[in-house]
Every structure is written in C-alpha cells, then in structure tokens.
A = this chain, B = another copy of it.
C-alpha cells in the first residue's frame, strides 16, 4: 500500500478517460493534462500545453491532445534531466470483459485495476511521485524537464512533429523514460537498444471490378495472386530478406552486447509456450537473440483481397492491399530502408497490376546505447542497490519512435527503465499495476535522480 494522499492522486489521474486516439475524448485528454500541469505546478514546475502549429500536418483529422511541457529550473551547474511519459491510454474495448469498470480504479490483491494503471499513467506517475520525494530533501537540484504527451498509443504524431523545433526547450543531459518492463520476477532491466519502425500500405489494382472466375479465368490478372507473389518476393526461402540494399550500413552488435543479450533472452521453450508455436520466424541459422534484437524485419501486418466470407464466391479480385511494417536496426535509416523496399516492390509488380504505396509513415530508426557508458554504470550501481541480482540489459525488438525523436532533439543520453510485468495485461481488459511495482518505480526515481544530481 502507498500513502492515502498518493493513492488519491493516482486514482484521480486514472479516472480521466484519456483515450488519445479517440477524438471524442479530446476534452478528457485536455483535462488530464491540466490536472498534471497543476500537480507539477505545486512542485515549482512552469507548465505549458503545446499543440502542433498545423494539426493537419501531423496526419490527424482533428486537433491532437496537447503535449504537456513542464520545467523546473535547478541549481547552477547541476545537470538537466528530461523525463518522458504519456498520459493517453489504449481504448477500453472490449469493455464487457472487464471485471470492474475500466476507468474506475479498483484494488484487488495489492493491484490497481484500471485502464492506464500501468501503461503509462501508473509508471510515469510513480516516477513523478519519487521525483517529488527526492525534491523535498535534495540539496543540489538538477533542472528537470517533463514531457507528457497524449498520443503515444496512436503514434505520437504531434510530439514527433514538434520535437525537431524544440531543441532548445528539450536540451538535456539525460533522458529518463519509465514505460517499459522489468525482467521476470521484477528483476530490474535497462533498455540498451530499441529497433526502429516504419510502415506503409501497398495497393495493387488490376481489372476494373471483381470478375467472374469462369468467364474471365485465364485472361484476367488476379490481384490476390499478384499480391501473394509480390509479398512473397520480399523474403528468400531461408527467411532472409530478399530486398537489395535494405541491409546496407547495418552495424552488427558487439560481442559484449550479444553476450549480455543472451543472458536476458527468453528460452526457445518459453517462447514456444508463450506463442503457441516454435519460434521459427526470421532467418534460418541465426539465433533467437540475433533475429529478435539485432536483425531488421519486413513484416506483413495484413493482406486483404477478394472474398473472405462463408462458402465460396468465385471471383477474380480487382484489388489487394497489404499492410507492411519494417523493424530497423542501427545503421539503417528509415528513408533508405523504405527506398530499398519501394524499389524492390516496383521492380516486382506482377503483370497487369498498378501499384500504389499509401500511408507511408517513416517512424524512426533504431538505436543501441553504449554498454560501457558512465550512465549505464551509474544505473547499474543504483539498480544493484535496489535489487541484489542487479539489472539485465535488454535490446528490445520493439520501438518507441518518440524516444528516438526526443533523443535527437534533446541531445540527451537515454536511460529507459520501467517496471512492467506480463501479468499487468497492458492493452488488454483488466489492466493492472501492483503497489509493489509502483513503489519500485518511485524508489527508482528517488535513487537515480539523487545519483545523477551527484
């Protein structure tokens, strides 16, 4: 359990239905950001609500939720720390599967059940509570900048678009993020790398309408078959990527990185139990850690063409779409990787088809952080004091594109440590966060801020 006033504040924060991707929840998002601005104001932060100058340029059909930027000036000569979190949450659907209402924080067995109780309201608010504890007793105080956005679950378009023009405002020494998981059994984990991500849609158009497969079979080109051919051309039979130029410039991991990554990697058996099938994705002959952390991917997120209902409808489909995303590793740039894929696709458009590429989102490149950096040594020391097992390092196959954008704009060294566990069920019904996790995140904030302030 935590102090009653902290729990009240936490629960008040959770009750805002700040589903950032839902335009009908815009007001809830603004109210949530305002609440946080007031909360930080009491600690001496100057806060402001930021909106992109041209909302439409960010791809949003409506005004995006505001980015809260708050700064507390510290002592002369003390470092500047940038903290990132997001107050938006995933939709609560399917609501019927929640045991208690999704926006009514409910405590059961030491866990708080509520949408956002962990991701990311719980994690970032626990951190901010630790920061408040720290500020109450610190002698030398760093400058602290807090960025809390309302669009992380729907792509971070506004903040990503604004970041490059906020260099001065964001400039910092360290970028702290509390939006990731710890290792099994709450063992601390430091994110040592993230892959980048880009995505786009491919559309093929053949004939002018779905045609009768008897009357036109053998003469009309088939868009479903064409898409199958085009998509399958992206990989070779051994699972490697067949796109010329896609891998150009890739920086392979160092021996120390590979060794450390192996230590934190799940076993083949654990993956099989989790996924329900053998981990046979990616290129034959490369290890699980290689394929999941250090290799790029080109993934088909969906293919749709023609009939898909019950029974049969014997048509030759006129159109097909494929949703494609890429995970990128250091040395690849989103633009060059995309150009390579686009060139490949254009060179392989099947007979009779017109191809278009739509909804291209360059996203962000991947990064790996230097294992031997003083920042990591410091974090390792702090986390070893919190937990005798010490931290593991994780090269996460996933992406937090906005972290790349903030890192570039701020010039800060990222330190990404979070306290999630798989049982928290983020993005799913009955999301929860335990008080034990909350206290870990809070303690981490106190300790790392203290250590960074020197």
Q: A209-B276, A224-B301, A302-B315 are in contact. List 11 more A-B contacts (CB 8 A).
A: A208-B277, A216-B397, A217-B282, A218-B290, A222-B300, A224-B231, A225-B232, A225-B235, A232-B232, A281-B316, A302-B305
Are A398 and B219 in contact, CB atoms less than 8 angstroms apart? no
Are B301 and A208 in contact, CB atoms less than 8 angstroms apart? no
Are B228 and A214 in contact, CB atoms less than 8 angstroms apart? no
Are A303 and B300 in contact, CB atoms less than 8 angstroms apart? no
- In the assembled complex, the Cα of A199 lies from the Cα of B307 at a distance in Å of 13
Are A197 and B228 in contact, CB atoms less than 8 angstroms apart? no
CB distance from A59 to the nearest CB of B (A): 9
Are B292 and A302 in contact, CB atoms less than 8 angstroms apart? no
CB distance from A345 to the nearest CB of B (A): 13
CB distance from A208 to the nearest CB of B (A): 3
Are B352 and A303 in contact, CB atoms less than 8 angstroms apart? no
Q: Please indicate the chain B residues that have their CB under 8 angstroms from the CB of A234 in the complex.
A: 225
Contact string against B for A residues 294-326, beta-carbon threshold 8 Å, 1 for contact and 0 otherwise: 010101111111111011111111001111010
- Chain B CB within 8 A of A288 CB: yes
- In the assembled complex, the Cα of A228 lies from the Cα of B231 at a distance in Å of 6
- Chain B CB within 8 A of A34 CB: no
Q: List 26 A-B contacts (CB under 8 A).
A: A208-B275, A208-B276, A213-B327, A214-B397, A215-B396, A217-B327, A218-B281, A218-B291, A219-B281, A220-B277, A220-B279, A221-B280, A225-B231, A225-B300, A227-B303, A229-B232, A229-B235, A280-B351, A300-B317, A301-B312, A302-B313, A303-B320, A304-B304, A304-B305, A304-B308, A312-B325
Are A312 and B359 in contact, CB atoms less than 8 angstroms apart? yes
Q: Which residue of B lies closest to A305 (CB)?
A: B303
Q: Which residue of B lies closest to A353 (CB)?
A: B277
- In the assembled complex, the Cα of A400 lies from the Cα of B297 at a distance in Å of 46
- In the assembled complex, the Cα of A317 lies from the Cα of B215 at a distance in Å of 34
Are A307 and B301 in contact, CB atoms less than 8 angstroms apart? yes
CB distance from A116 to the nearest CB of B (A): 18
